[in-house]
Chain A
Amino acid sequence: MTGLLREIRFLSRDSAALLWLGIAVFIAVVSVFLGLREVSSQRTELNNLIAADYREREVEMGRYQDWGEVAYYTFHLTYAPPSDFAFAAQGQRDTSPWKHNIRALALEGQIYETDAENPDFALIGRLDFAFVANLLAPLLLILLLHDLRSAESAAGRYELLCATAARQGSPWLARAALRSSALALCLIGPLWAGGLLAGTDAASLALASLVVVSHIGFWWAVCALMERFGWSSPVNLTALVGAWLAFAVIVPAAIKVSVESIVPLPDGGEILFTQREAVNDAWDLPKDATMEPFIARHPEWADYTEVGQPFEWKWYYAFQQVGDQTVEPLSLAFREGRIRRDRFAGSLAWLSPPALAERALQALAGTDVAATLAYEQQVREFHTALRKYYYPRLFRDEPVSNASLEQRPQFRGTSE
């Protein structure tokens, strides 16, 4: 206990160490603040969109006389609201869409639209908590720990410490432990404060803290290992920064390259191209060529397939559906490929603790690839519900009525 008190006293007088810890706490607070602000601006934007979407629906109501036009002109907002913990890790929300305006036309032509921010910003990335904890914190820890012994010998206390300590290694162990925990506290403190403001559940916060602590523990171990070589502190520092580069930059880059070459994806452009061709060719094909594959999927409309006119809405929507059916194998492969890439990257991430911690925080924040794919799936299900709503009205040629419009499916976001 006295040892610990003494170490705290030493730490409080070590201005360099206080500087590194100060930087850590400052950047962590800034990142949490920025994350909270980003989440709140996403929420505001969503609320505006939901209100605007509703107004748009009111304006369009009563404008159209047949269901074909209604379905053609009405857009439906779909979205994935940020989670209560999204402030800590922006993750995929930077580059992958979390809101779509869709309508009952072929979905494959719509679902890959992005509502991306300034590409320059996406390129550089956000200053979120995950970045601070996973990339900055290890460097700060390295700066805190690389010259424990040499700093003492420079200060002339090395001999004294070794003599007074019960065991040779213990003052260093206590000192390193104190500094590592201080750094962890500098990060976890702002995180919990942010969590309280955002109403994050304690379990997520506890798990996130566990991630942060384990990650810092890993870097402590690396520092301790390097110390065994007994190098001078500049060499020690250089070697540790080298280790940081290897674990935080080079290994992830190598993982990315290998995952992407081992798990190829169908070309996105090809999905759109095939879908467009299928939809457009339908205009020149006999109507049966569209209705047959359509009925194979929707046998319930088999009695309504007569298309007498050169243009009929039910045929139009049937070939939209057939367009989606045509690219289904490609689209599924694209989806499966992304899932496999993500799983594979997840297992290889064990080679790079910073990447592993980043993925863990993203998973807790609901901003990982799985969340993106889940949202995409929700959009697909909602689109199916839309079709289910319109088909009876189109095929039975029902009159448009407000009562019927009231029953139209509404998208409901889940995670809020």
Chain B
Amino acid sequence: MMNSVFSIAREEWRLWLRSRLALSALLVFALLLTATSTLIALRMSAEHQQRTEQQALAEETFLSQPDRHPHRMVHYGHYVFRVPPPLSVVDPGVDAVTGQSIFLEGHRQNTAMFADAGASANIGSFEALNAALVYQLFVPLLLIAIGHGLIVREREENTLAPLLAQNVTGVMLCLGKWIALAGVTLVLLLPLFVMTAVAVARGESLLASAGLIGIYALYSLVWCSLILLVSALVRSRGLGLGILALFWLGAVLIVPRSAVETASSVMPAEGKLEADLRMQADLREVGDGHYAGAPEFMQLQANLLAQYDVERVEDLPVNFRGVVAEVNEADLTEVMNRYAEERMALEARQARFAESFGWLSPVVAVSAGSRALSGTDLATHHRFLREAEAVRFDFVQGLNRVHVEQLDYIIDINRSNDTASERRTRMSAENWNVLDEFNFQAAPATERLTRATPALTMLSAWFLLLTAGGIFVSRRIRP
């Protein structure tokens, strides 16, 4: 039985190899994929190198600052860069629409700046092609172009009846045709194997790479089953092609954008300026740590005086201005983190909601899963923001510690008397090594796989449903 199944598949392959349409479509696909993946690979590795260098330069510059008042270093600040993960050569994800660097300084959480999208050439909607997009959009089209006639062609050419008469059941026929189309997807996935192999050579985990290949394989098979199902159901090639074209149009063009529109109206997000204004009111209550004498810090002062059992601030064994800066930074950060976490949680909820449109379109599912596995999704960007914040808080508090413990209070309050007094407040540059090295990595493969699970589930459901439909229809196939 399997022999005749394979001979059906072989026959289909032979037909495609002789068809100029199928061959030229394959050729165009191969060229396109090679061109885009080479360009993206070159760009991403250039970005990788550049951002790594910029990160090293930023650290070097910070450490090589001269002796200064420690609070000056708090405002001098530091930069962190998000280095793209190796699999970004396949799917650059949100890399182009989010900024890649953040300026870190005291008392403020800055946004990531200089997204590529802001300065790119404006040329319409689908402007940035990459390997992931080529797979998501073009593989289905290619499969439709060569596969829409799988069964209906036999029907139109009146070869279905003789086939079914030759001891070939409908299930065998459909299985053979399906294997033929699935074989094409295997060939189409070859470039992806090469790209992920390059990523693995650059240190990407094998698990995430295998997951990425797996999700695209599953996605392609969803289309194979759909095409076969439609081809078995319709009476004319034209109708079949029309239905498949409509499905592609909906799945690729309409549903993803509808998901975005629905998610943003069901869960509206406040603009950053608006949130900042609200936050400003909360921050005012915390007070401004530059003014140690402000009413907000009277309680702190009283507590310290009691703790060290002294009468005057000058008699404290620590620098009161430094203590205020330290406590104030912690309080401000708590407020800022609350707002940041609120925002990120909302964005994550929006993204999850939009992703659930994968039940309506396999394209939505595969693109979400692909970004998650490549380490270029929203969650990775949030991870970058959180890690950057941790670096910010650590070096600012490290510097504040220096302010508390090493800088004498009397010298500190007299800093503005004259140039010589200002000089006395300068601390040794050795203290600047409170700065941690920043080396951004995407989440471990298992975590990324967990994030891709909903997408994989949706695609599996699509596959099982369509395949079950195909089996059901194939049992009832009549000439």
Chain A residues packing against B (C-beta within 8 Å): 16, 23, 27, 34, 37, 41, 45, 48-49, 52-53, 56, 77, 91-92, 95-96, 99, 101, 109, 112-127, 130-131, 134-136, 139-140, 143, 147, 150-151, 154, 233-235, 237-238, 241-242, 245, 248-250, 252-253, 255-257, 259-260, 263, 265, 267-269, 272-273, 276-277, 280, 283-284, 309-311, 334, 337-338, 341-342, 344-345, 348-349, 352, 354-355, 358-359, 362, 368-369
Contact = CB atoms under 8 A, between A and B. Distances in A.
Interface of B: 21, 25, 28, 32, 36, 39, 50, 54, 58, 61, 66, 68, 72, 75-77, 79, 81, 93-94, 96-101, 103, 110-111, 113-115, 117-129, 137-138, 141, 145, 148-149, 236-238, 241-242, 245-246, 249, 253-254, 256-261, 263-265, 268-269, 271-274, 276-277, 280, 347, 350-351, 354, 367, 377-378, 381, 415-419, 421-422
Contacts of B261: 34, 126-127
A345 B124 CA distance: 10
Given A234-B148, A284-B68, A345-B121, A249 B238 contact: no
A119 B238 contact: no
Nearest to A51: B277
Given A154-B236, A245-B141, A355-B124, A49 B273 contact: yes
A119 B378 CA distance: 7
A150 to B, nearest CB: 7
Nearest to A309: B416
A314 B118 CA distance: 34
Nearest to B349: A118
B256 A124 contact: yes
Given A119-B97, A123-B94, 16 more contacts: A27-B254, A45-B274, A99-B271, A99-B273, A113-B113, A120-B378, A122-B94, A123-B96, A127-B258, A140-B249, A233-B238, A242-B25, A267-B114, A269-B79, A310-B422, A341-B121
Contacts of A309: 416, 418
Contact of B114 (A136, A256, A268): A268
B122 A117 contact: no
A52 B126 contact: no
B126 A248 contact: yes
Nearest to B254: A27
B353 to A, nearest CB: 10
Contact of A136 (B25, B253, B354, B419): B253
A353 B99 CA distance: 31
Contacts of A113: 110-111, 113
A247 to B, nearest CB: 10
A115 B97 contact: no
A126 B257 contact: yes
Contacts, number: 245
B416 A269 contact: no
Nearest to B354: A120
A99 B81 CA distance: 25
Given A95-B118, A118-B350, A233-B238, A124 B126 contact: no
A198 B77 CA distance: 46
Nearest to A142: B245
Nearest to B288: A73
Nearest to A127: B257
B243 to A, nearest CB: 10
23 contacts: A45-B274, A49-B274, A114-B99, A114-B111, A114-B113, A116-B115, A121-B260, A123-B97, A127-B261, A233-B238, A234-B237, A234-B241, A245-B141, A255-B121, A263-B121, A265-B119, A268-B114, A276-B77, A310-B421, A310-B422, A341-B119, A345-B123, A354-B124
B268 to A, nearest CB: 7
Contacts of A95: 97, 115, 117-118
Given A120-B378, A245-B141, A310-B419, A115 B123 contact: no
Given A310-B421, A338-B119, A344-B121, A234 B238 contact: yes
B97 A122 contact: yes
Contact of A359 (B50, B123, B416, B419): B123
A272 B260 contact: no
A266 B298 CA distance: 49
Contacts of B28: 242
A253 B129 contact: yes
A52 B270 CA distance: 14
A115 B273 contact: yes
A16 B242 contact: yes
A99 B272 CA distance: 10
Contacts of B115: 95, 114, 116
B114 A112 contact: yes
A56 B280 contact: yes
A101 B276 contact: yes
Given A45-B274, A334-B119, A121 B264 contact: yes
Given A113-B110, A136-B249, A259-B121, A311 B274 contact: no
B315 to A, nearest CB: 26
A41 B268 contact: yes
B265 A37 contact: yes
| Residue from A37, A41, A237, A355 having most chain B Cβ neighbours under 10 A | A237
B76 A280 contact: yes
Contacts of A130: 125
A255 B422 CA distance: 56
A334 to B, nearest CB: 7
B403 to A, nearest CB: 16
A256 B123 contact: yes
B253 A276 contact: no
Contacts of B141: 241, 245
B253 A121 contact: no
